[in-house]
Structure formats: C-alpha cells, structure tokens
Structure 1
Amino acid sequence: MNTARDLSIVTVEVETDRPLEQGDLSLALAGAELIDLVEAGAVVLDGDRIAPGAQPATGDRLLDEAAGSLVRTQPYESVEDWLWRRGRGLAAVYLAELEKEGLVTQARGRLLPVRTGRKALAASPERQRAEGRRASEEPVLAALTAALGIRDEPADGSFDLTDDSVVTVLTTVGDAVTELEAVRQRRTVEQAAFDNIWRGV
C-alpha cells in the first residue's frame, strides 16, 4: 500500500476553504512515506527513533529513495527530524512523478480548451485506488487528510488506529503542521508590522 502516492493523488483536485499549503503537504507526505516504510519492514520505530529494518527495499522508486536516505547510525533520527528533512520540497517531487506517469495533467477551461494552470487527475487505476481509500475513510489516509484540513476529524478525535508506530508518526505530523502554521502566522504579523513602519502607521 503506497500511502504517500495516494495522499498526493487525493490532494491534486481538492477544494478547501483555504489553499492547501505545499509545506504542510510535504510534511504529511514524509509521514506517509515513513508509515509505508514501517509497514514494508524497511524501518522500525524505537519510541520516536527511526531504525533501519530488515527489508531494505520496497520496489517503489520514491520509497526506496526515502529508505536510502535513512540515518543508519545510533542514536538514529527522530520522527520529527525526519519529517522536516525528508519533507523539504516533497510535494513537488510527488507531483512531478505523477505528471511523468501521466496521472496528472493540466486542467483546461470548460468553455475554451485553454490551460488554466490548475492540475487535473487522469482516469487511472491509481486514482480509483486512492479515491477508494479516501471514500472508505481508511484510517491512515483519513488521519493525514485531517491533519491537512481536507476533512474533519472524528467527533471523538479517534481514527481507530492500533499500531503504536503509526500513531506516533501521525501525531508528529499533526504537531509539525501546527508548528509550520504558527511560523507562517508569526511571519505574517512581523511583515505587517514592518510594512506599517514604512508607511508611518
């Protein structure tokens, strides 16, 4: 199961109240990769530390690239450090991969066949699989999309997850996205204050 690819696919055409931040998506994709690597046996979580597992390869190019970038010396890398390091620019990497495979194209206007600059999903088995996971509210994908604000969290805040490693990753993704939003808000306030100084307000 490739959660990172599925997450990338379901976010291409998503419409939300606010634009989906690429930094948030990159963090979530790094978390999705880590969950996939845990499930493939390529890594093992020891608390919040990522240790190399017995199965080094997954057969997926981007996941194998992720596995190849693991810190392989103790005390190993924390999940939080992995998200920030591996997540840098990861949304663009996945989108480029989907475009290369023909799974994502340029959207065209309804009346005129002019490219709109937006992206559109092509009909494909991969799209069906990803949208099927989203429609069925598969817990891991549901938790990741909730962290991105694409869907609401359950009323009880639970996604029926029992794997401690998966819960650790998802919790850390949520914390990282919240931290990134706080940084953005702080920069906005600082920029507004700076602009006010120059305007003499």
Structure 2
Amino acid sequence: MSTAEDLFITVMDGERPVGRGDLSLALAGAELIDLIGAGAVTVRDGRIVPGGPATLGDGLTGEAAAALTRQAPYEWIEDWLWRRGNGLSDAYQAALEASGELRPRRSGRSPFGGSRLEPADTPASRRARDRWSERDPVLVALATVVGVEDEPDDRDEDAPGLDDEAVTTVVAAVHDAVMELEAVRQRRTIENAAFANLWRGP
C-alpha cells in the first residue's frame, strides 16, 4: 500500500468529517512523498525535479509519476497539489473499492458524510492501521493537516517529527493549500449569505 492509500484508510477509520477537497490535496502530497522516497523526484527550491526511473508498485502512484512536469523550470509543489489533487479522493475511493479494500459500511457515521463504505479487514488495511498506531510521522502529519486529529502542541515531546527536509516541505505545502481552500470556502459562504440578504430585503 502507498502512503496515499494508507492516508485514505486512516481518514475513513476516523470519526471526524474530512472534506474531499482537503483529502485530495493531502493525497497528492502523499503521492509526492512516496515519489521522493522512491528516488523518482527531488525537491529543489520548492520545485519538483524528476529523477531517474523508479519502481512504483501502485497504479495511482505510477500515474502520478507519469504526470510530472519534466521540463525546466519544473513545477512548484503548490501547483502540483492543486493540479494532481483535482478529484483525487474520488480516484482513490474507486481504486480501493475495486481492489476490495473498501466494503459497504455496516454501521456508524462516515467521515465522508453520505459515503456508505468502510475499510475491509485485509492485510493491506491492517498494515495501514499498524502504521497509524505506531505513529508513523508522515502519516500522522498528513492526517493531522486534514483534521483527523488536532495539531500537536509544540511542547509535546511525544509528537512524531519529520526528519527529511523535502518531506517537511511537502507537508507544509499541503497545510498551506488546505488553509487556502478553507479560506475560499469561507469567502463563498460570506458572499452567498450577502447575496441571500440582498434578495431578502430589509
């Protein structure tokens, strides 16, 4: 399983609602982190620089590698998150459902609202859950960005830390993109309320 798949399962296991747009941005970041780990890309001054050929076992991660911009000056991380992340949560849901990693939800609330799926009890999903229970720093960081749990207190010595500068840069970019998306939502809410008040009149 890839980091993106593990993140998707972690979100579905959680109780807090997670926006599909937020998750899509984080999934794009997770893919990029796996590409860094595989040596398929490096990060240089905030841009994604393709590397040599790499073995990528996951179909969607392979698609991500194929979607890289391979001409200088290369793509900004933020631009990649928005471009690659467009509809990505739906793509992962479809892929995991097709592979049997998701099953009809038996009971309880879904973090996706109307979604009636939940992770199946498979070796892959158990590995994802083990990674979460072991507090894998990358998985915890991405899940925290989308609100699976609260941001850790800076004074919390038990909070997992990232020890790779490129990965840290990607996580920070995901955080900024999610905050930007939330700002857009709030602005639209205010605009819609003002429009409704205009038609409602005094």
TM-score, with length taken from structure 2: 0.91
- What is the CA deviation profile of residues 18-61 of structure 1, one whole-angstrom value per residue up to 9, with x for unaligned ones? x3100000000000000000000111111211011112441221
Partners of 1:103 and 1:124 within 8 A in 2: yes
Partners of 1:57 and 1:67 within 8 A in 2: no
Greater RCO structure (CA 8 Å; 6+ sep):
2
Instruction: Map residues 27-38 of structure 1 onto 2, 5 A cutoff.
Output: 27-38=25-36
* 1:45 correspondence with 2:17: no
Alpha-carbon distance, 1:190 to partner: 0.4
Alpha-carbon distance, 1:109 to partner: 4.9
Three-state SS of the structure 2 residue aligned to 1:55 is: coil
CA root-mean-square deviation: 1.6
Alpha-carbon distance, 1:97 to partner: 0.4
Alpha-carbon distance, 1:136 to partner: 1.2
Partners of 2:52 and 2:132 in 1: how far apart?
Answer: 30
Three-state SS of the structure 2 residue aligned to 1:41 is: coil
Where in structure 1 do 4 or more consecutive aligned residues deviate above 4 Å?
A: none
| Structure 2 unpaired stretches of 5+ | 109-113
Partners of 1:109 and 1:27 in 2: how far apart?
Answer: 28
Alpha-carbon distance, 1:181 to partner: 0.3
Show the counterpart of 2:197.
196
Show the counterpart of 1:147.
145
- What is the CA deviation profile of residues 123-170 of structure 1, one whole-angstrom value per residue up to 9, with x for unaligned ones? 101111111111111100000011011112221176421211000000
Which of 125, 128, 131 is equivalent to 2:129? Answer: 131
* 1:65 correspondence with 2:32: no
Partners of 1:60 and 1:120 in 2: how far apart?
Answer: 20
The aligned amino acid for 2:37 is: E
TM-score, with length taken from structure 1: 0.91
Partners of 2:184 and 2:105 in 1: how far apart?
Answer: 32
